[in-house]
Amino acid sequence: MSESNQEGRYGIHGGCYIPETLMTEIEKLKESYAHYKDDPEFCAELDRLMREYAGRPSLLYFAKKMTEDLGGAKIYFKREDLNHTGSHKINNVLGQALLAKKMGKTRIIAETGAVQHGVATATAAALLGLECEIFMGKEDTIRQALNVYRMELLGAKVHPVESGTMTLKDAVNECMREWTKRVDDTLYVLGSVMGPHPFPMIVRDFQSVISKEARAQILEAEGKLPDVVMACVGGGSNSMGMFYEFIKDEGVKLIGCEAAGKGIDSNETAATIAVGREGIFHGMKSYFCQDEYGQIAPVYSISAGLDYPGIGPEHAYLHDTGRAEYVPVTDDEAVNAFEYIARTEGIIAAIESSHAVAHMMKIAPKMRKDQIIICCLSGRGDKDVAAIARYRGIQLSE
Amino acid sequence: MSKIREAFNNKKCFIGFLTAGDPSLDKTKEFILAMEKAGADIIEIGIPFSDPIAEGPVIQAANVRALKNGCTLTKIFTMVEELRKETQVPLVFLTYANPVFNYGYDAFCKKCQEVGVNGMIIPDLPYEESDEIIEFTKKYNLDLIRLIAPTSEERIVKLAKDATGYIYLVSSMGVTGMRNNIKTEVDGIVERIRQCTDTPVAVGFGIHTREQVEKYCRIADGVIVGSAIVNIIAENGEDATPKISEFIREMTGKS
């Protein structure tokens, strides 16, 4: 019989379901991470990069106009959109790229959907002198040609992935294949709290800086903890980062906003908790959108970053235990929120983050004025402007 | 001794792989019978999956074709049941974990035994996670074929010790697909495996020429050929039978 292996489990979820070819490398990654995460020199270097390069701590911004307009709870935004490269992805990438360097790797590879992770990875690679290759669904490279060029400007080689649905999940497939080809000098810098153990843990740890800061910032500003903490969820990295330090605060309600696409009753959705079932995919046991035979379902969302058929295993666990609530938000609601926050607060937020804003617009008016919501603005929305215009039937020429 | 293990008695095994339902399950059945007749000792049947992360482009494309043509697990079980009326060649399923997990480990293994499948390979269910299925493969007398990779190093000991049927020795890094130059020092790995178990070792990934078959049959107990066969099916579709037979006869030298 095998040794019992409880590490890397979140209830029944998690684990490490990958080909044997990668197992030794995953073991090495586990060991290296265990060593460096508490290494004073590593921590000091990462801390310096976070402050001096990424621009941390990010602001906790009180949205006064929106609070007044919605007429309920006090609304705060955790401004991950103001980080260097424009999203929370840099938090994880700097950590993993630095780890890659310490492990003696000279090359990093990554998947990307909305290009936030791709750009962050290409950026860290440029900064730390690592070779970088990005895998991106061909469908997404067409949706975001300009962003592909951004990654190339940063020195990355971008591979359009033409298999399957040509979106984020296929980019992950291709990254895993590429990693099995070349493990010696390469680290797969996974972008979300998903995949085989130890990735969900590593990414969560590096992203938990969001809630570490936010918790201290809100205590400073309000002298009390928030009532609701919320974020959008695809794989779930910004939300896990936003939730993590609040999990122990039982009075704080945690809400993850999934991409419902055209609605959870349509076939065009990516709301995994709403429509998925337990399964094994991309190295982990978790919830996945799948058909009756266990084939992974094609999913859809206007947001390329949430267009993923699964969810990280720790989220699956938070759902099972009821500690966090997961709600679906449609394309339409997200686009409305995208426009609303731009007009009301002068913030162009990522379409991903706008899913969380949309749900916040529903719950804030029903809450008391002395209650507090913190919503994570995971990224900025410059990348989405053309797609939103298209959604509204406006033709733009650059 | 399992039927798979028996196939290695006093001989080297040629193990042929194809993807079920490409181009149709009727043809899959016909191809398997032709493969056996041409000298294949064991057949691996790939259950098509939407996201086969261990496969190269050739087998990926076969998965896409099979699913497009409406191939399902239920239909594959029926095909095997019919196949069993005509042949006793050992059959091994190659499947990703999710279709099995989704069917239910117990139910899946039970059904395999009922229809006459002898073993299974699950590339994304590594040793450390295989506890969840092993009680059922044992209960229904199925061999769970373990993979050993060029990177397995110290892991070889535990992997080999628990192996049943045969050991699938992955010849190369990366995904499945034909390779002209296999760089791994396969002999050394086979030697290490032999120190831990007498379970036969079959070498797969990249093999597509007679020279490679001869070489790895000398070093190990058999070879696994997949992408080369799937490629013949891709090129010839419904008319692939004679070409598959010809290819396998050439590989096995049984003309």
Average pLDDT over residues A259-274: 97
Omega before residue A198 within 30° of 0, cis: yes
Judged on CB neighbours under 10 Å (0-12, 13-18, 19+), B70 is exposed
Q: Lowest-confidence range among A57-61, A363-367, B17-21, B251-255?
A: B251-255
Distance CA B9, CA B20 (A): 28
CATH architecture, domain defined by A55-86+208-391: 3-Layer(aba) Sandwich (3.40)
Omega before residue B150 within 30° of 0, cis: no
Task: Tell me, yes or no, whether B109 lies in a domain.
Answer: yes
pLDDT value at residue B255: 57
A102 as an active site residue: the answer is no
* Contact of A309 with A119, CB cutoff 8 Å: no
pTM: 0.96
Please state the three-class secondary structure of A100-126 as a single string: HHHCCCCEEEEEECCCHHHHHHHHHHH
Strand order in the sheet with A131-137: A157-161, A131-137, A107-112, A186-188
Question: ipTM for the complex?
Answer: 0.96
Strand order in the sheet with B222-225: B143-144, B119-121, B91-94, B42-46, B13-19, B222-225, B201-204, B167-170, B146-148
Q: Is the dihedral of CA B162, B166, B171, B174 positive or negative?
A: negative
Task: Tell me, yes or no, whether B242 lies in a domain.
Answer: yes
From the candidates A89, A169, A285, A383, which is the catalytic residue? A89
Residue A69 Cα distances to A60, A74, A226, angstroms: 19, 11, 20
Backbone angles phi, psi at A102, to 5 degrees: -60, -35
Q: Give the structural domain span for B96.
A: 12-252
Percent of all residues in chain A with a pLDDT value above 90, rounded to a whole number = 92
Average pLDDT over residues A377-398: 91
* Contact of A243 with A193, CB cutoff 8 Å: no
Distance CA A57, CA A51 (A): 7
pLDDT value at residue A1: 29
Interface test with B, best of A5, A293, A296 (most B CBs within 10 A): A293
From chain B, pick out residues whose CB is under 8 angstroms from the CB of A5.
128-129
Cα-atom radius of gyration of chain A, to the nearest Å? 20
Omega before residue B23 within 30° of 0, cis: yes
Nearest residue to B207 (alpha-carbon basis) of B65, B44, B91, B87: B44
Task: Tell me, yes or no, whether B69 lies in a domain.
Answer: yes
Judged on CB neighbours under 10 Å (0-12, 13-18, 19+), B157 is middle
Per-residue pLDDT of chain B (255 residues; tens, 9 = 90+): 899 999 999 999 999 999 999 999 999 999 999 999 999 999 999 999 999 999 999 999 999 999 999 999 999 999 999 999 999 999 999 999 999 999 999 999 999 999 999 999 999 999 999 999 999 999 999 999 999 999 999 999 999 998 999 999 999 999 999 899 888 899 999 999 999 999 999 999 999 999 999 999 999 999 999 999 999 999 999 999 999 999 999 999 875
pLDDT tens digits for range A284-337: 999 999 999 999 999 999 998 999 999 999 999 999 999 999 999 999 999 999
Q: How confident is the model at residue A5 (pLDDT cuts 50, 70, 90)?
A: very low
Distance CA B114, CA B117 (A): 8
Amino acid at B255: S
pLDDT tens digits for range A173-203: 999 999 999 999 999 999 999 999 999 999 9
B 162-181 residues with CB < 8 A to A: 162, 170, 173-175
Domain count across chain B: 1
CA dihedral B36→B42→B46→B52, nearest 10 degrees, is -130
Tell me the CATH number for domain A11-50+89-203. 3.40.50.1100
A351-363 vs A331-345: helix crossing angle, rounded to 10: 80
How many other CB atoms are there within 10 angstroms of residue B57's CB atom? 15
Distance CA A223, CA A257 (A): 27
A4 as an active site residue: the answer is no
Backbone angles phi, psi at A16, to 5 degrees: -145, 85
User: What is residue A278's three-state secondary structure?
Assistant: strand
Question: If interface means Cβ-Cβ distance under 8 Å, which residues of chain A face chain B?
Answer: 1-5, 15-25, 163-164, 169-170, 173, 176-177, 180-183, 277-283, 285, 288, 290, 292-296
Shortest CA gap B106–chain A (Å): 15
A339 as an active site residue: the answer is no
Same fold yes or no, A11-50+89-203 and A55-86+208-391: yes
From chain B, pick out residues whose CB is under 8 angstroms from the CB of A295.
49-50, 67, 98-99
From chain B, pick out residues whose CB is under 8 angstroms from the CB of A13.
none
Percent of all residues in chain A with a pLDDT value above 70, rounded to a whole number = 98
The CATH number covering residue B39 comes to: 3.20.20.70
pLDDT value at residue A4: 37
B 102-141 residues with CB < 8 A to A: 102-103, 123-131, 134
Residues B98, A281: C-beta atoms closer than 8 Å:
yes
Distance CA A306, CA A134 (A): 18
B38 touches chain A (CB under 8 A): no
Beta-carbon pairs below 8 A across chains A and B:
135
Q: Is the dihedral of CA A257, A263, A268, A273 positive or negative?
A: positive
Residue ranges per domain, chain A? 11-50+89-203, 55-86+208-391
From chain B, pick out residues whose CB is under 8 angstroms from the CB of A173.
51, 53
Shortest CA gap A111–chain B (Å): 14
Q: How confident is the model at residue A165 (pLDDT cuts 50, 70, 90)?
A: confident
Q: How confident is the model at residue A397 (pLDDT cuts 50, 70, 90)?
A: confident
* Contact of A278 with A12, CB cutoff 8 Å: yes
Give the N- to C-terminal CA distance of chain B in Å, as an integer: 30
From the candidates A111, A133, A213, A345, which is the catalytic residue? A111
Q: For chain A, give me the number of helices (H) and strands (E)?
A: 16, 14
User: What is residue A329's three-state secondary structure?
Assistant: strand
* A66: its two tokens: 């929106």
From chain A, pick out residues whose CB is under 8 angstroms from the CB of B53.
19, 173, 176-177, 282
Place of tokens 């980062």: A241
Distance CA A115, CA A158 (A): 11
